Structure 1
Amino acid sequence: METANRSETGEAGETVETVTRHYARSGSLAQSILDIAHRFADGRQPTVGDLAPLDQFHMRGEEATVEFAEMVRPKAGEVCLDLGCGIGGPARWLATHCDVEVLGFDLTESYCQDAAALSRAVGLSERVRFACADATRLPLAEDSVDLVWTQHAAMNVPDKAALYREVARVLKRGGRLALHDIMAGPEGLPHFPVPWASAPEGSFLLSAREIRALLAEAGLEELVWHDHTADALAWVHRRRADIEAGTPRPPGPHLFLGPGFKEMSSNLGRSLEDGRITVHMALLEKP
């Protein structure tokens, strides 16, 4: 699979480096994740289900992925592009539960390597493939994929108009874009650092109104749009209550993403509560 040109210069190249440096800060993750999964699986070979609490790097984790898939209803045999795939959690979930073929693209090389290693460990190398690529310059032919799936990725893309034009280009006629994204709230910038950016230089949020306008300009027809900010807030409050009550915390990314992850998670909750970010799920179609 062709990969994006990584020799970019100027402002765009600096943005790529800012974003990838943030995500690569903890180094290779696959072995740590597999060690944790082995431990919680009593030493047996981990499955996609065992990895799910650890490899879903978005708010509400697997719970949100299940809810998102119920809205999108991927069809068996479809070719799905997971854009901003991270370490491949949703891609593996889709391949296993929806019987689709998944291509996962991400800017961060270490994430792509981890995604491939984790997929090999659960026997999915033939059905889920990963490569480094820029979401605004996809190495795919026109009209080549049935479904573009993206969860918590557009926050790191400065040129969202180019992003959605590329999505429209690679989608087949009648193909769909499924997005689950964090967007700008009315009360100013998020509290930094947050899980997707260490500083404002790596974060590029637009309001839901602005995103919807860009999607329409790209020629994508809106089928469903849901504001899930209240669900995300409830999830934050449940987690906080469990911590305050001393409830044992289930396995999750906090076990391997380093000491800074606690502050990022706290700022995510504060940003939601203060109206600085919102969370949305949507389904659009290329007519």
Structure 2
Amino acid sequence: MPTDAAPCSPNETVTAHYARHGDLVERILATLPAAGGDPAKPEYAALHQLDQFHLGGPVATRELAEKAEARGLPLLDLGCGIGGPSRMLAAEYGCDVTGLDLTEGYCATARRLSSLVGLGERTRFVCASALDLPFAQGAWNVIWTQHAAMNIPDKARLYQEVARVLAPGGRFIMHDIVAGPGREPHFPVPWASTPAASFLLPANEIHARLAGAGLMEDWWHDNTADALTRIRESRAAAASGEPEPPGPHLVMGPEFLEMRRNLARNLEEGRVGVVEAIWRKP
């Protein structure tokens, strides 16, 4: 019998990266006191400080939601993770949100957390691939994604699927990491322990694939400088002795701190960048 294991598919590599964290619900509940919450009576106000793993955290989600004028809209959150932005959009913007993620453990965590903080009826979570969306053509007026495309190798197929399930006039709202003009990123980073789970493209190639899917640009913003400013402000606060505010590092542990340091270094060295954009289906 062969003794060599078959190589992992991109999907298996990505799900393995995200599935290794164990019971995130219990870890988050144990961390709630640091965010001013009560594990016995969890509330959204404390939870939202801990459950958003993208650059800028809750602040970035709010800024993008305001720019997108998303208030009160039903929307699909692609690559929703454990549902942090989904819950924020439901709780603060009155959206009915369907989150979709490739990792079943994250979807289960998202459902449980939403239920614990009273958002179970405003959010639902589906385990599926963004390359084969389980929705009919034209099913959505708004599709949202933050820091998900980095794990998806076939960007053309991703944006074709987005275009397929968007209704005419529907909007695709995105906030993602892109490849920078520098060399390959340092690993591990929050979205990938090794290069095998990371599929970054330069911003111009992302732009071309979105246009190739038949979408039209409404707004495009290189957010790299803003991300660097936030990182430097955080460093300055730490150097002055200010306690670090609650965040996902409390949940994910020392490994996440290394990932966060590498992400900051990658941004500073031009190895990665950050873009936000809104595209529309004609």
Could you state the TM-score of these two structures normalised by the residue count of structure 1?
A: 0.92
Partner of 2:106: 111
1:162 aligns with 2:157: yes
Partner in structure 2 of residue 66 of structure 1: 62
Give the Cα–Cα distance (whole angstroms) in 2 for the partners of residues 134 and 188 of structure 1: 29
% same residue = 54
Alpha-carbon distance, 1:115 to partner: 0.5
- List, as ranges, runs of 4+ consecutive aligned residues in structure 1 with deviation greater than 6 Å: none
Q: What corresponds to 1:91 in structure 2?
A: 86
Counterpart selection for 2:245 from 250, 260, 281? 250
State the partner residue of 1:4: none
Q: Does 1:82 pair with 2:77? A: yes
Which residue in 1 is equivalent to 2:12?
Answer: 17
* Structure 1 CA distance for aligned equivalents of residues 232 and 160 of structure 2: 37
Give unmatched runs, 5+ long, in structure 2: 1-5
* TM-fit CA distance, 1:46: 2.9
1:138 to 128, 133, 138: 133
Match of 1:52 among 48, 58, 61: 48
CA distance in 1, matches of 2:158, 2:256: 28
TM-score, normalising length: structure 2: 0.94
Per-residue deviation, 1:70: 1.0
- Secondary structure at 1:250 match in 2: coil
Residue 252 of structure 2 aligns with an amino acid whose one-letter code is: L
The Cα shift of 1:28 comes to 1.7
Tell me, what secondary structure is at the counterpart of 1:55?
coil
Q: Unmatched 5+ residue regions in structure 1?
A: 1-10
Residue aligning to 1:201: 196
* Greater Cα offset, 38-47 or 139-148: 38-47
1:19-78 residue CA offsets vs partner (Å, 9 max, x unmatched): 1111112112112212322554353733222111101110010010011011101142x3
Q: CA deviation at 1:251?
A: 1.3
Structure 1 vs Structure 2 CA RMSD:
1.7
Rounded to whole Å, the distance in 1 between the matches of 2:243 and 2:173 is: 34
Which is further off, 152-161 or 18-27?
18-27
